[in-house]
Structure 1
Amino acid sequence: MIAKKRSGHPRDYREGYLQGYHLGLCEAVKRMSTPEVGASRPLRLMYVPQGFQAIDTGMAEALRLLVSELIICSPETMLEVAARESPEAVLVMNGLHVFPENHLDQIDAIRQLGIKTAIWFVDDPYFTEDTSVICKHYDYVFTHELNCVEFYRSLGMTSVYYLPLCVNPQMFYPRRTGPQYHYDVVFIGNAFRNRTELFDQLAPFLRGKKVLIAGGFWERLNCYQELLPFIKSGFMPPEETANYYSGAKLVINIHRPWEGGQDNRNTFQLPSLSINPRTYEISACGTMQLTDIRGDLDSHYTPGRDLETFASADELKRKIEYYLNHEKERRQYALRGLRTTLLRHTFTSRLPHLLGVLTAQG
């Protein structure tokens, strides 16, 4: 009888072992780093989502734990639902993109019913042409952009609060992934000008590496044909994004440029200081990230400990090369970033501040 040969390559077995080992460490970190959720606040709250799953799902799940009663409705039916359900407060997410033209009329009418209204802007400062108008229709304004707090106050708003973004750890978490998700280097996002400039500079360096560049408009690259084998075009759902983050050795984070142009409506040209949701989502997946630098980054993570930073294409090349060849250090960064995220940057840890404002004032 002829014995069957074992299928698979030794490298595949090693990668499987390393993935299992890393996931075991991530699970240990999760068990030590998930704070208990406190008692819910006695608040009847109506929440109006913006239609972006990664944020809306995290908000809804957290609010169900944090308030005594949660009502969720669409932007089109805000006034109708508020008049019928009589919530104590209405919280609107962003008020942009999918919101109907009459949404501000609805908010004004809700306020006339004696119901408090709040909005959390999470696309600041890229739409200041719009948010400068929208903010004036709400009682409370929250913004994830540190540089927009004084901007809204300068427009006459008195109740303006800085509320950084965060992550839903039930959507973005370390997971076992198949080989189709295993890459050396991953970037997921649209091709804004600063991103295409960077990847054009990286193009020769990326040859011979397993790379994924996903998102829209990457045909803007000067080196498009050279990088085309790495590109996966179009929108990627959050669950799929989390699979690629979890399967990657390194994930690059490049913030959107704040300057005006074809991709922004930042009429007031406010520079951006705050970090994007991608910062939290990558670290929540237990993967090391290399991020460009925002002014408020070290208020949330410790560069050189939770994640690594870069200020130029050459610095990024050096750090990619180094960390691809130093697995232990890469894993330590990933685990520390995961721990910081779970302890400080989830919706359940972020939203009590917002709810405290709504319940503490008149």
Structure 2
Amino acid sequence: MEEQQPVNVNSLAAAVSYNKGREYGAHAGYEEGYLRGRANAVAARIETKFPKRPLHILYVSSGKQYPYSPIDQAIHTTLQDMVHHVTLADPRQQVADIAAHLKPDLVLVLDGLELPVNQVDEIRKKGIRTAVWLTDDPYYTDITAKMAPHFDDIFTLEINCIDLYHKLGCSSVHYLPFAAYRSHYFPLTTPSTVRREVNFTGSAYWSRIYFMNPIMPQLMSHNTGINGLWWDRIENYHMYADKIEVNKWHDPEETNQVYNGTKIVINLHRSHLDDSVNNNSNLKIPPASPNPRSFEICAASAFQLTDARDDMARFYKAGEEIETYTTPQELIEKVEYYLTHEKERQEIALRGLKRTLKEHTYAHRLHQMLSILFP
């Protein structure tokens, strides 16, 4: 009889493990490819066209760096497709002289904190219409309350600030949140360079630190990434340092990669009560409206898990297009749930993408603005 060779148990276990891993990887790759295909099909079908108006707009940028500069780019570029002529100016220039020379139909200012109000007054004296799109309401109302009355038209991204500007004597005040810029945030056609289960992008305001501290061990037990300013404030930071990018801003391209490569993207709005970073000591107006990240996450075809805000339902249906939470414990419970309910999570993300492209791009917002100003 031939002598039987002993079975190498370690080799057999390795082979079984390899085959299981290969099978899982193939399934995961198929699922991701299928999701990307569907997301790109949604994006390809939705292309809203707006009329091009015979207007000349002098657009005055925020004059600030990131995160304002991508918004400047989104507005400036989108306007070029919506009006006949756009001139770009910096708030540190003599904007009143430029306006006097060009005689535009509108001087549109983003943020406005870097533009001296005497420049705005000079423009209005020349009979040229001025509008400002405020970027940080209600967190800088100590400043904007003094600045806003110098403009003809006020656009605020916070619905709870409308009454404030009316009481200050501003007759033309409008609610206009920010949106998603499709050239920055979109479904990728190829695998993302990032592979995460959970991600949060944003600064570590103290309100966020207090909210996250109790759940950090559970949250970071997953393949979780965090990036933004001041996250070394978190309790036991040394335990999570390899998963946290401290004091690093991601540009839109990097952020889009993160959103596309993450199963659950957390959105946690900042608080109006954080005196260390806010300038709203006089009024303490509570926010109700969604932040720009609300639209950008969905535009990247990512699943958004966001804290509930009073006016969020105007933009997305909770449980259908996004998911919401109100407490740290609910956040963790929904992270655990949606990490194990792949199909449900993907369908919500796709519906969020569809709603965003149909209603919440900068083209939609600027069409709304121009329809108000030039009906």
TM-score normalised by the chain length of structure 2? 0.89
Could you say what the CA RMSD is over the residues aligned between the two structures, in angstroms?
2.0
Q: Which amino acid aligns with 1:71?
A: T
Structure of larger gyration radius: 2
Aligned length: 351
- Please state how far the C-alpha of 1:195 moved relative to its aligned partner: 1.3
- Please state how far the C-alpha of 1:16 moved relative to its aligned partner: 3.2
Q: Within 1, Cα distance between the matches of 2:97 and 2:344?
A: 55
Q: Is 2:192–2:260's contact at 8 Å kept on the other side of the alignment?
A: no
1:1-362 paired onto structure 2 within 5 Å = 10=22, 11-35=24-48, 37-50=49-62, 51=64, 52-77=68-93, 78-96=95-113, 99=114, 103-176=116-189, 180-233=193-246, 234-267=248-281, 268-360=283-375
- Please state how far the C-alpha of 1:54 moved relative to its aligned partner: 2.6
Q: Within 1, Cα distance between the matches of 2:138 and 2:103?
A: 32
Q: Within 2, Cα distance between the matches of 1:15 and 1:145?
A: 40
Q: Is 1:201–1:313's contact at 8 Å kept on the other side of the alignment?
A: yes
Q: Within 2, Cα distance between the matches of 1:167 and 1:316?
A: 24
TM-score normalised by the chain length of structure 1? 0.92
CA displacement, residues 293-329 of structure 1 (integer Å, 9 cap, x when unaligned): 1110000000010010001111111111111111101
Q: Is 1:203–1:226's contact at 8 Å kept on the other side of the alignment?
A: no
- Please state how far the C-alpha of 1:53 moved relative to its aligned partner: 2.8
- Please state how far the C-alpha of 1:176 moved relative to its aligned partner: 4.5
Q: Within 2, Cα distance between the matches of 1:22 and 1:80?
A: 52
Greater mean deviation of Cα atoms: 323-332 or 222-231: 222-231
CA displacement, residues 190-247 of structure 1 (integer Å, 9 cap, x when unaligned): 0012211222112221343111110001122123222222201221112111110111
> Structure 1 segments of 4 or more deviating over 6 A?
none
Distance 1:72 1:243, change over 3 A: same
- Please state how far the C-alpha of 1:80 moved relative to its aligned partner: 3.1
Structure 2: which 5+ runs fail to align?
1-17
- Please state how far the C-alpha of 1:179 moved relative to its aligned partner: 6.1
Q: Is 1:200–1:223's contact at 8 Å kept on the other side of the alignment?
A: no
Q: Is 1:203–1:223's contact at 8 Å kept on the other side of the alignment?
A: no
CA displacement, residues 254-295 of structure 1 (integer Å, 9 cap, x when unaligned): 001011410111121100010000000000000101000111
The percentage of counterpart residues that share the same residue type is: 36
Structure 1: which 5+ runs fail to align?
1-5
CA displacement, residues 41-71 of structure 1 (integer Å, 9 cap, x when unaligned): 1211111121423311211122111112111
Q: Within 2, Cα distance between the matches of 1:64 and 1:336?
A: 29
Q: Within 2, Cα distance between the matches of 1:356 and 1:265?
A: 32
Q: Is 1:19–1:176's contact at 8 Å kept on the other side of the alignment?
A: no
CA displacement, residues 133-170 of structure 1 (integer Å, 9 cap, x when unaligned): 11011011110100000110011111111112211011
Q: Within 2, Cα distance between the matches of 1:201 and 1:15?
A: 32
Q: Within 2, Cα distance between the matches of 1:260 and 1:254?
A: 14
